[in-house]
């Protein structure tokens, strides 16, 4: 079991109602998003997101590491 801090941005933050939360989780990053999507009712499927761990882009198959900071990155719209 890993305890991680999850960051939410843009529409994910609006849906979650918080900018970050601490979560206890087993498995990989995809499983984590799937569980949180169900909990918060996120509209965006995993295929439309990227994921970052400790400020660096990561892969969905990566295992969740205890103590890490995980950010789900919805499609960007800067510029």
Q: Report the nearest approach of other proteins to the CB of residue 78 (Å).
A: 3
CA dist 24 and 69 (Å) reads: 12
78 is a site residue for other proteins (CB under 8 A): yes
Q: Kindly tell me which residue out of 3, 39, 48, 59 binds other proteins, with binding defined by CB under 8 A.
A: 48
57 is a site residue for other proteins (CB under 8 A): yes
CA dist 25 and 47 (Å) reads: 20
Burial of 64 (0-12, 13-18, 19+ CB in 10 A): buried
* Contact footprint for other proteins (CB under 8 A): 7, 9-11, 14, 44, 48, 52, 55-57, 71, 73-79
């Amino acid at each position: 079991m890993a305890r991680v801090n999850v960051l939410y941005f843009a529409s994910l933050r609006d849906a979650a109602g918080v900018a970050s939360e601490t979560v206890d989780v087993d498995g990989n990053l995809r499983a984590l998003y799937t569980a949180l999507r169900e909990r918060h009712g996120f509209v965006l499927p995993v295929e439309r997101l990227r994921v970052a761990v400790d400020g660096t882009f990561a892969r969905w198959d990566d295992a969740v590491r205890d103590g890490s900071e995980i950010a789900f990155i919805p499609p960007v719209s800067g510029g």
